[in-house]
Structure 1
């Protein structure tokens, strides 16, 4: 764009400069023509018998013999020389005014040039000089006038031709430059599409035939993706190792708690189960943190939610489960985290609903509360799970999201589901809230980072 603007500005400047130079050249040539014709007239006139001016200048231009053309020559005696003046037939009986020497002085060649308007409305330029014709000192004023309008018309014709040529050249240059840019950027466009496939999870590296100019960039991007993948794999392996190493000791503690006295049994078991939940929670945090910024972590929303709905329908045949999802929605999350968060919400909704559960996933422009940094540049997906149960008051909603808190002790559960959902959403810099739905029940709303299918 900048190069195009610069080229257009350069063409305008070039046009103005060439036009100004041509005008200077035309005016100089016009002045030289009048000077040459002036001296031609001087050489064609002399003093004849009876002290009269005689001569018939032949300037080779028919305009000096045609009336009202603006091309004239005039010879007027000066001082005591009382001869009759001579003039071209184009002037007829008209006169051309003579300005004062104070207003238009002679130059060092004893010439002067001045513009004026003749009796016919022509703008003319007059070249004038005074010449002594004989040894007796008799002198005459010689003037030759040329039509300035003719020169201006010639300049305008040149400008029109110049502007047309430059416009054609400029448009042709834009077309050529546009074609060169489009052709030259095609490899980058291929790279953009290949990167888009990576963002969508359809490829794991930049693949394709790229010119050698951008191959270093392609290699660096592939190296970065490979390094990111190794980091994620290493983090997953470490998380798995830690989970495996802690799983057995915690299971032993829980089993041994059964052999203790009832007074101590509940205490040891509850603490061991809390330790197990805490370990799992922090293992999830470590895994999510290791892959949160990876361009390879992508989940198609529609198939995941459809699979969860099918499972819930089999487990709860007496309840209705309704799904509304935006086609092509993609979350920047790992699939198991999507399943865990939405699955927890569906289980809670199925437990407390009267007749059915409604699950929806739609794009939203509203970032989660408290989102900072680059949140303004992200896209978000709002996943809502709503039931027609008794619902919760605002105070109860805050209490329900605390770890281990259960508002209804008569129903099964450990009181960890909603707190886990909130923690996972927070790790992905998303949001989670509980509000009352339009059906009177609870509406659980997740706002999670999404990825647009249009990566352009």
Structure 2
């Protein structure tokens, strides 16, 4: 996943929300556990207080007695963590052995109007807090029905083990749950974005020319986008078709008038040589203008949405064979070198026009040899056409532009290189001119990442 990936953003957002929810949930669960632990402890202490209340009494001397003291050994161990105490007015308190020489001092003396039982926190021994439950009862069997206060307490340190276990288990459990939720969210995000992966694959098929429209079934949230893309593809193909048709119509429409002008120039050449030369010059200018306009139209329509690819070697073989049949080509030694299976990202017609311009230009200027090399590279390729002619100066190479002739002596020279450059640029390639080792001109077309 790349940095700008929607899947990465959604996964990070989901993971952050899961982590936040688990953190808040963990804090809430721990607070609930603390409250439940306090409530359970208070219930156990209250149960002990009721047990003591059922067995409390007075002996013959008026001292407080209890029939059934709690059996938990911590009540019998000095400072064992569990304590009970029974008090009555003007009576010596009865205490568990665990209190040793200490007493539990309530904030104020309870009376009969207080709640049946209450739970409070007190500062215990050595600064350790206590959770305390006390009950008030009247002993009906004793004279004057004295009020008795029964207090039961527990050192909160006794709860530390339970709290520590929760503090150890809860983060680990939440971390495991978070990992499972993160994996589930990642699978959910991947599943939710699967229509877009399908759409990308369909677009690649259209781009590669293997299909003309987006196919497949998409969710209702994505289908409008697919329909709009199909409409755009159809509109683009229609616009490109119209542009090609208009360019062809213009070429055919001007062909006849230009032929007529050439015929007129031939008819008046003997009687009016100057006028004939003027007509030839204007006719040639018109032909060049037509060539430039058609080249612009073709280069503008070459970069359609559908990607095309054409093997270079067969097209080059046909072109060289045609060049060898032209007059004067027998003086030229043709050498073609190919490496790998190079595919040019354009239609066969576009590739043929570009190579035709370069090879024909090399044929016209070559003295004895033309060398053509084709190299297939990773993700692209390169085509080089070299001749052993007079070559071009660096300023002339830089000055070549659409519609500008750099030589008036050789027929056809002028727009070929500019047209090739425009067509190459429209297909994502680059035209490079440089000096060949034989001091002639090297014209190369490079495309792709290689």
* Residue-by-residue CA offset, 1:344-380 (whole Å, 9 max, x unaligned): 234444644867344446579xxxxxxxxxxxxxxxx
The residue aligned with 2:386 is 387
State the Cα distance separating 1:10 from its structure 2 match.
2.8
The answer to whether 1:17 aligns with 2:25 is: no
Which residue of 145, 153, 175 corresponds with 1:145? 153
Closer, same or farther in 2 for the Cα pair 1:281/1:211, shift >3 Å? same
The answer to whether 1:125 aligns with 2:140 is: no
The residue aligned with 1:295 is 305
For 1:299-314, list aligned pairs within 5 A.
299-301=308-310, 303-304=311-312, 307-308=315-316, 311-312=319-320
State the Cα distance separating 1:250 from its structure 2 match.
0.7
The residue aligned with 2:233 is 225
Closer, same or farther in 2 for the Cα pair 1:5/1:114, shift >3 Å? closer
Counterpart contact for 1:46–1:54, Cα < 8 Å:
yes
The residue aligned with 1:194 is 202
The answer to whether 1:266 aligns with 2:277 is: yes
Counterpart Cα distance in 2 of 1:146 and 1:341: 96
The residue aligned with 1:34 is 45
Counterpart Cα distance in 2 of 1:238 and 1:300: 25
Counterpart contact for 1:400–1:407, Cα < 8 Å:
no
State the Cα distance separating 1:240 from its structure 2 match.
1.9
Q: TM-score, normalised by structure 1?
A: 0.71
The residue aligned with 1:344 is 357
State the Cα distance separating 1:428 from its structure 2 match.
5.9
Consecutive unaligned residues in structure 1, runs of 5 or more: 103-107, 365-380
The residue aligned with 1:418 is 417
State the Cα distance separating 1:336 from its structure 2 match.
2.5
Counterpart contact for 2:386–2:443, Cα < 8 Å:
no
Closer, same or farther in 2 for the Cα pair 1:309/1:100, shift >3 Å? farther
Counterpart Cα distance in 2 of 1:12 and 1:68: 38
State the Cα distance separating 1:251 from its structure 2 match.
1.3
Counterpart Cα distance in 2 of 1:99 and 1:262: 136
The residue aligned with 1:113 is 120
Counterpart contact for 1:326–1:361, Cα < 8 Å:
yes
Q: Which 10-residue stretch deviates more, 215-224 or 228-237?
A: 215-224
Counterpart contact for 2:402–2:419, Cα < 8 Å:
no
State the Cα distance separating 1:204 from its structure 2 match.
1.4
Counterpart Cα distance in 1 of 2:193 and 2:199: 10
Which residue of 77, 81, 97 corresponds with 1:70? 81
Closer, same or farther in 2 for the Cα pair 1:192/1:62, shift >3 Å? same
Consecutive unaligned residues in structure 2, runs of 5 or more: 1-9, 109-113
Root mean square deviation, CA, Å: 4.6
State the Cα distance separating 1:146 from its structure 2 match.
1.5
Closer, same or farther in 2 for the Cα pair 1:141/1:432, shift >3 Å? same
State the Cα distance separating 1:98 from its structure 2 match.
5.8
The residue aligned with 2:7 is none
Counterpart Cα distance in 1 of 2:131 and 2:177: 36
Counterpart Cα distance in 1 of 2:438 and 2:253: 46
Q: Which 10-residue stretch deviates more, 201-210 or 58-67?
A: 58-67
